[in-house]
Amino acid sequence: MDKFMLNRRGFLAGAAALSGLAAFGGLAAPQFALAAPQEKIVIGRPVDSDDLDPVTCLGNINIFIFNLIIDGLVKTSNDGSEIELNLATGYEVDESGTVWTFHVQEGLVFSDGSPVTAEDWEWTFTRAIESEDSNWHMCVENIDHVECPDDTTVIIYCKEEAASTLANLCIFTLGVQSKAYFEKVGADEYHNGIIGTGPYMVKEWKRGEYLTLAANPNYRVEGQPYTKEVEFKIVSDDSARVIQLQGNDIDIATDLPFATLMQLENDPNITVQPDPSTMVYWISINTTREKLMDRKVREALYLATNSQEFVDTIAFGYATAASSVFAPTSEFYYGGLDQPSGDIEAAKKLLEEAGVSNLELSILIRGGNETHKAIGMILMKQWAEIGVTVKLDEREATSYQKDRKDLTQYDLIVSGWSDDIQDPSEFMQFIFDFNVNSGYYSGYHQPEEMQALNAQAQIELDNEVRKDLYAQIQQGFRDEGIYIPIMVTPWCNALQSGVTGWVQTPLGNYRFEELAREA
- Binned at pLDDT 50, 70 and 90, residue 40 comes out as very high
Mean pLDDT across 247-253? 97
Q: Which residues contact 431 (CB under 8 A, 6 or more apart)?
A: 437, 439, 440, 446, 477
pLDDT in tens, 327-357: 998 889 999 999 999 999 999 999 999 999 9
Q: Which of 305, 357, 348 is nearest to 487 (CA)?
A: 305
Domains observed in the chain: 50-195 (3.90.76.10), 278-490 (3.10.105.10)
Q: Count the helices and strands in the chain (H runs, E runs).
A: 15, 21
Compute the mean pLDDT over every residue in the chain, rounded to the nearest whole number: 90
pLDDT in tens, 61-117: 999 999 899 999 999 999 888 999 999 999 999 999 999 999 999 999 999 999 999
Quote the CA–CA distance of 284 and 464 in Å, as a whole number.
29
The strand pair at 270-285 and 99-104 is best described as: unpaired
Question: What does the DSSP 8-state code read for residue 432?
Answer: H
List, in sequence order, every residue forming a beta bridge with 253; answer none if it has no partner. Answer: 44, 494
The strand pair at 74-76 and 31-32 is best described as: unpaired
Rg from Cα positions in the chain: 23
pLDDT in tens, 442-464: 999 999 999 999 999 988 899 99
pLDDT of 259 over the 80 cut: yes
pLDDT in tens, 289-306: 999 999 999 999 999 999
pLDDT of 23 over the 70 cut: no
> What pLDDT shows up at residue 37?
55
Q: Which residues of 152-179 are buried (b: 16+ CB within 10 A; e: fewer)?
A: bebbbebeebbbbbbbbbbbbbbbbbbb
Give every strand in the sheet of 99-104, ordered side by side. Answer: 88-93, 99-104, 153-158, 143-150
pLDDT in tens, 394-443: 998 888 888 998 999 999 999 999 998 889 988 998 899 898 889 999 99
pTM beyond cutoff 0.75: yes
